[in-house]
Amino acid sequence: MADNRDALRPYLADMAAVEKHILEALERQHKDDDIRQFPNAHQVIDRLMAVLKQHVQTLETHLEGFSGGGAAATVKEAVGGVLGAIAGMYDKVRKDTASRALRDDYTALGLAVVSYTMLHTTALGLRQGATAEIALRHLKDLTPIQVELSQIIPSVVLRELALEGYDVEPGLAQNAVRNTQEAWSSEHTQGGSAGTPVGHPVGAEGSYTTR
């Protein structure tokens, strides 16, 4: 019979690889002068970097308890496949505006959120409570930051337009936030195929059980 713990190695390695890649992009953004023009965005990036560093450390430490090599070897195995999904978002050569950089961050966090959802579910199915707990804890760290990004982006978009010389009302950013948040409200998502938005996972705040 297959070893339940061994089955989790590639999932954990994928997760560590995803967060390392996002962290590398955030470190570049953190030094970017365009993003520094927006203190609220810069602060979120700074906070997210700290969260991801802690996540990667926790995942690598957890992986050390698995057979088949240490954390570094395991993550190296995963890098080739998993990073293809987000490589296009974080082009090291391309110079993006702050709003587009934040858009890429939001999208990358969506991948991390759904990956943690899968890891948590897999760990529950394999009765690996420690891994399930780590995945859920990390998921809860990321979802509020992703929501915060979605609320910051409208003000950054309008500020960029103003800096380019367009006549815009900065206060309309709040209208955009309200309108877009309402798009994810229950009356717009219940009963159809829309489901729950990325950043608002079903059961993220709930409990779980293992046997």
DSSP single-letter state for residue 190? T
Tens of pLDDT, residue by residue over 52-66, are 999 999 999 999 888
If you count them, how many residues does the chain have? 211
Structure tokens at 183: 């798009």
pLDDT in tens, 162-209: 999 999 998 999 999 999 989 877 666 665 544 444 444 433 333 344
Biggest CA-to-CA distance, the chain: 67
Q: Which domains, ranges and CATH numbers included, belong to the chain?
A: 4-142 (1.20.1260.10)
> Would you state the pLDDT for residue 109?
94
Smallest CA-to-CA distance from 160 within 44, 23, 41 is with 41
Each residue's pLDDT tens digit, 132-145: 999 999 999 999 99
Average pLDDT of span 24-47:
93
- Check if the beta carbon of residue 208 is closer than 8 Å to that of residue 122: no
Question: pLDDT band for position 95 (50/70/90)?
Answer: low
